[in-house]
Amino acid sequence: MVIAASRVQDGQGTIWLTDVVCSGSESKLVNCTYNVHTAQCEHYKDVGIHCFLNCSTEDEGTLRLGSKQAENKGRLEIHYKGEWGTVCENYFGDVDAAVACIQLGYCSGMVIAASRVQDGQGTIWLTDVACSGSESKLVNCTYNVHTAQCEHYKDVGIHCFFNCSTEDEGTLRLGSKQAENKGRLEIHYKGEWGTVCENYFGDIDAAVACRQLGYCSGMVIAASRVQDGQGTIWFTDVACSGSESQLVNCTYNVHTAQCEHYKDVGIHCFFNCSTEDEGTLRLGSKQAENKGRLEIHYKGEWGTVCENYFGDIDAAVACRQLGYCSGMVIAASRVQDGRGTIWFTDVACSGSESQLVNCTYNVHTAQCEHYKDVGIHCFFNCSTEDEGTLRLGSKQAENKGRLEIHYKGEWGTVCENYFGDIDAAVACRQLGYCSGMVIAASRVQDGQGTIWFTDVACSGSESQLVNCTYNVHTAQCEHYKDVGIHCFFNCSTEDEGTLRLGSKQAENKGRLEIHYKGEWGTVCENYFGDIDAAVACRQLGYWCVKRLTCYMFKAEKQVHTFD
């Protein structure tokens, strides 16, 4: 037969013949009619021919599978004119594939997209195949042998079915299980286990599949959350009404060429759909009796809640449900990561709900990971009767130490962020002192428990620290930043600044000490010079006549040297 000129390499030299016309009985080509005037021809129009090794029809049309993906699927190859070759996918459909598969000894089959099989070699024998379905061989169908428009990237692939019985058609199982009741959805179809593509697969479809598996209901797990499967992707575009007893009773599409195994559906089936104890809460990974990771019992399983949009109002609802008076959020970074199902995200409570499940929420938590599990801190006491009581912890002296505050029924600390001497003065007055100042957090021992306040800002006129403005969201604080304060015993200026010499080396030399705010203390040497020392000496009753030489006003008028 002719090979299109475009499929053979251009020749050289003379183009001898054109317009050749044979009757078919000639023994030589030159016995046919032809024209030797070839001026209108170029070598790109040189004829190519394909000569047949065998013209017997005895085994004409024998089929085999080449480049197999499995025993029953691969590139379709046909033995024709004594040579093995391929078939072009043009118009080749499932009816044609079924005829081919039946010829190969299977019960039926379907097309695999040409893009899914390895390109063949040699002759592309057939194109535009059209079978009625009743043929015993593919060569009994109609077809075209002029395949100039075909390339091997269009070679047909077929998937032949081991079993066409509908007895156990559509049996389901969970593969690559994350737990007994969740994993990749697999279906037994045409005698093989395969997967389902996530395209348009929703919770209604998952519920049908889960009920078929013996659960009360279920929901989809994002394909990205399950391990990729292998083998055939059987279904895509599944659409169930919800009343079906089996997934195969839903509508679906078996042409899954656009699907890959990274899109395999996962489902999470529910052990219990009763609402009797739906939404029970508990605290997991407790930091204390009243704080920890929020966990919820839903669909028969304990799971966690995602922090997305979860706020103090939501935490208050959860804490009241747990038997506390109220509560607030702990940043997810402050609680240990949970395990299992993340049940809720985007929780939004009004605040009046008696249970968290009465709030609005979203169960599609594919964007959440356990590092985003919500933590809550529930309050023992919401009474304001003794709210804001202060004490000094880790005391360095009676009047100095780490500032601690009693809030929501618990003792906790205050973060040093923006905490200044005005704030310290308010705290000290509340503690019964005349005033006070801040001690650097690095100078006090780290506290424990809750850091209640940060960003405290007092005007100075407040009688209690809780009357100042503050922020209770202290996620950015750690106990190494706990505020310390130094409260003053006496704010009178009557004897303010009295001096004395301590740890004397002689009557007139030693450590300089000053009485300030009702306490004796020392002076730092930074920038303290002889002029400063002379002032101090004069205050102590000495007078200087030259540098480092002072006279003491005493009865004996004895001279002393002050170094």
| Confidence (pLDDT) at 316 | 97
| Confidence (pLDDT) at 5 | 66
Cα separation, 395 vs 439, in Å, equals 12
Rounded to an integer, what is the distance from CA 332 to the centroid of its chain?
A: 14
Residue type, 252: Y
Cα separation, 483 vs 160, in Å, equals 76
Cα separation, 142 vs 147, in Å, equals 14
Contacts of 553 (CB under 8 A, 6+ apart): 541, 542, 543
Cα separation, 209 vs 473, in Å, equals 45
Q: Give the Cα-Cα-Cα angle 121, 124, 129 (nearest 5 degrees).
A: 140
Cα separation, 269 vs 218, in Å, equals 4
Query: Minimal CA–CA distance to 150: which of 205, 192, 92, 201?
Result: 92
Cα separation, 125 vs 138, in Å, equals 12
Q: What is the pLDDT of residues 5-42, one digit of tens each?
A: 677 798 888 888 888 898 888 888 888 887 878 889 88
Query: 180: buried, middle or exposed (CB in 10 Å: 19+, 13-18, 0-12)?
Result: exposed
CATH tag, 171-270: 3.10.250.10
Cα separation, 388 vs 464, in Å, equals 7
Cα separation, 536 vs 55, in Å, equals 127
Q: What is the pLDDT of residues 186-209, one digit of tens each?
A: 999 999 999 999 999 999 999 999
What are the tokens at 486?
């130094």
Local structure of residue 191 (DSSP, 8 states) = T
Buried b (16+ CB within 10 A) or exposed e, 404-439: bbbbbbbbbbbbbbebeebbbbbbbbbbebebbbbb
48 vs 173, more confident: 173
Confidence of residue 160 (pLDDT cuts 50, 70, 90): very high
3-state secondary structure of 127: strand
Phi, psi of 259 (to 5 degrees): -105, 145
Cα-Cα-Cα-Cα dihedral sign, residues 442, 446, 447, 453? positive
| Confidence (pLDDT) at 311 | 96
Buried b (16+ CB within 10 A) or exposed e, 253-272: ebebeebebebbbbbbbbeb
- Domain 62-161 matching CATH 3.40.50.1370: the answer reads no
Cα separation, 72 vs 157, in Å, equals 11
Beta bridge partners of 304: 295, 342
Check whether 525 has a pLDDT greater than 80: yes
509 vs 344, more confident: 344
Q: Residues spanned by CATH 3.10.250.10 within the chain?
A: 62-161, 171-270, 280-379, 389-488, 498-561
Contact 11, 46 (CB under 8 A): yes
**Three-state secondary structure readout of 86-111:** EEECCCCCHHHHHHHHHHCCCCEEEE
- Domain 389-488 matching CATH 3.90.110.10: the answer reads no
Confidence of residue 251 (pLDDT cuts 50, 70, 90): very high
| Confidence (pLDDT) at 544 | 55
Q: What is the dihedral of CA 350, 354, 357, 361, to 10 degrees?
A: 10
CATH tag, 498-561: 3.10.250.10
Report percent pLDDT > 70 for the chain.
95
Check whether 557 has a pLDDT greater than 90: no
Q: What is the pLDDT of residues 61-72, one digit of tens each?
A: 999 999 888 899
| Confidence (pLDDT) at 3 | 66
Check whether 143 has a pLDDT greater than 90: yes
Cα separation, 103 vs 97, in Å, equals 10
| Confidence (pLDDT) at 551 | 46
> What is the average pLDDT across 506-535?
89
Check whether 410 has a pLDDT greater than 50: yes
Q: Is 557 left (phi over 0), alpha (psi -120 to 50) or beta?
A: left
Q: What is the pLDDT of residues 284-326, one digit of tens each?
A: 988 899 999 999 999 999 999 999 999 999 999 999 999 999 9
| Confidence (pLDDT) at 241 | 96
Contacts of 398 (CB under 8 A, 6+ apart): none
Confidence of residue 555 (pLDDT cuts 50, 70, 90): very low
Cα separation, 529 vs 512, in Å, equals 13
CATH tag, 280-379: 3.10.250.10
| Confidence (pLDDT) at 36 | 78
3-state helix, strand, coil in the chain (%, to 5): 15, 40, 45
Query: 46: buried, middle or exposed (CB in 10 Å: 19+, 13-18, 0-12)?
Result: middle
| Confidence (pLDDT) at 558 | 35
Cα separation, 423 vs 415, in Å, equals 12
Q: What is the pLDDT of residues 78-91, one digit of tens each?
A: 999 889 999 999 99
